Structure 1
Amino acid sequence: MLKKDPALKKGPLGRAASIGLTRERIVEEAIALIDDEGLTGFSVRALARRLHVYPTALYWHVGGAKADLFAEISGSLIATLVMPDEISGDWRETIRILFRRFRARIHEHPRAAPLLGPHIRSNGAPNAPWVEVILHSLTKAGFEGNGLINAFNAVVGALEGYVTIELAADGATAGSEWVKAFDKGLEELDPKLFPLVTQHLPQMYNRAFVMRWQNGEVAPIDDGYDFLLETLILGLEAQVKNNREAGPAA
């Protein structure tokens, strides 16, 4: 006879407990679990305990694999950032709104940030609202055909890449052996071999990617995000201008 999980004895179990359970409630509780425990402490069994159901009850709502649940979480975090009726008359401002809301949303749930990269690929439908917004903005900017798709990929790559790296891992502890070793390695860099790194290290330390041990939850890199956003917009404008000047392909 199979032994029951003692942690499940206090609440209703099985299919009966799943009555009234919704995909939205499961995802909401999953995000709360990740907020509390991080991805290392997340498991389908732990989530089921919080909802007082058997793990199989979760799969009836969110698919048959943990990856399906992660895709739902990723989609839920960013699906409704900008709705079609919020589109600005200026495509640039629409892109700015999307970027700022995206980063603010992920900073509310920093421990879920690592899910965005690998799992956004599999949650297309829930993200249709903001995908539509980006396509509308880029079409209004003057992109079409394959250029529109390239521009879309550039926007999404910049949108997700920066914040995912910024919040990629929990920061180390000040004074820990890891931080001491990190600092020692930087202090021992040879200025003759790395003249620019050693010159700019005081400004980069914990304020630039790679040269930091604090993550963006503790030390957010705000200026860099704004710089990326405005550089992206300028680049999109330049691409449209070049395409117009080049004219139709022969």
Structure 2
Amino acid sequence: MAKRENSGVRAPAKDQAQASRQLGRAAAVGLTRERIVDAAIDLIDRKGLDALTMRELSRQLDVYPTAIYWHIGGSKADLFSDIAGALTAGMIDPEDTCADWRDTLRLLFRRFRERVHRHPNAAPLLGAQMRSNGAPNAPWVEIILAALSQAGYRDQAMVDAFNALVGGLVGFVTMELAPGPAEQTAEWEKSFEVRLDELDDERFPHTRRALPLMLNRAFVMRWKNGSECPLDTGFDALLESLLKGLELRAPANTPP
């Protein structure tokens, strides 16, 4: 019994000492939340999102994984959220807003796309990953809601307009920068192109006519992503279409 009581006392003390050493090491190398996020983004840029593991990140920073968890809040989901917030931080400030709500939204979403194009491997965190949503995105969410309020949107109509705008534009950018298959090779790319070129003229007349313009410049008809072949005019077309639609659907322009 005495042995069990003693071991029960020593184990927490040992854990505390180990944690203290780890945090002491982290402090010695200047570990901060910001440095962890910067290192994570650098790792994603160089090796892709799948390469971001706590083990690899701790190796890059030369600290124990425990020290990273202590700084970021306890889970990899918290790290993803911080990365998403860092990628869009300072994208637009309240003083950058324009007199016309449409110009504010143009500015915001063009800056958003430019920012994500600098870190294409992280694009899934800004659209497809629910775990990166939330408070870190609040600054630009506030700008969008203020613009929609200026346009006359309120309550559920504002939420619906917000979802249409963000879903369309963020979805476009994340699709544009979607990574190719892991087995992508020159042979795979050639095979992709050959299969498209073999489409039957009678069965797919519109596709065949448009194909020269669509190859590598249209969704589902490409084998290179937007880092190599950006879809600039398509993004502009979507942005202007959404703004026009929001303008027409604004409560002030909608018949009772």
Report the TM-score, using the length of structure 1 for normalisation. Answer: 0.87
Q: Deviations over 1:192-239 (max 9, x none)?
A: 211111111011000111100111101111111111111111010010
Match of 2:111 among 101, 109, 115: 101
**Is the partner of 1:220 in helix, strand or coil?**
coil
Deviating runs (4+, > 6 A) in structure 1?
A: 171-175
| Code of the aligned partner of 2:118 | E
The residue correspondences of 1:1-250 to structure 2 (distance < 5 A) are 14-19=22-27, 20-119=30-129, 122-170=132-180, 176-240=186-250, 244-247=253-256
Whether the 8 Å CA contact 2:45–2:119 is kept in 1: the answer is yes
Gaps of 5+ in 2: 1-20
**Is the partner of 1:246 in helix, strand or coil?**
coil
Identity, % of aligned pairs? 53
How many equivalent pairs are there? 234
Deviation at 1:181, TM superposition (A): 1.6
**Is the partner of 1:199 in helix, strand or coil?**
helix
Q: Deviations over 1:152-196 (max 9, x none)?
A: 111211221111001110489997221122112112211121111
Whether the 8 Å CA contact 1:169–1:215 is kept in 2: the answer is yes
Deviates most, 61-70 or 49-58: 61-70
Gaps of 5+ in 1: 1-12
| Code of the aligned partner of 2:176 | E
**Rg bigger for which structure?**
2
* Residue matched to 1:6: none
Whether the 8 Å CA contact 1:62–1:69 is kept in 2: the answer is yes
Whether the 8 Å CA contact 2:124–2:174 is kept in 1: the answer is yes
Whether the 8 Å CA contact 2:92–2:108 is kept in 1: the answer is yes
Q: Deviations over 1:96-151 (max 9, x none)?
A: 11011001101111111122223355432122111110010000011111000011
* Residue matched to 1:4: none
| Distance of 1:212 and 1:206 partners within structure 2 | 4
Whether the 8 Å CA contact 1:117–1:164 is kept in 2: the answer is yes
| Distance of 2:212 and 2:58 partners within structure 1 | 47
Q: Deviations over 1:11-45 (max 9, x none)?
A: xx721122242211111110011111112322211
Whether the 8 Å CA contact 2:77–2:131 is kept in 1: the answer is no
Deviates most, 50-59 or 164-173: 164-173
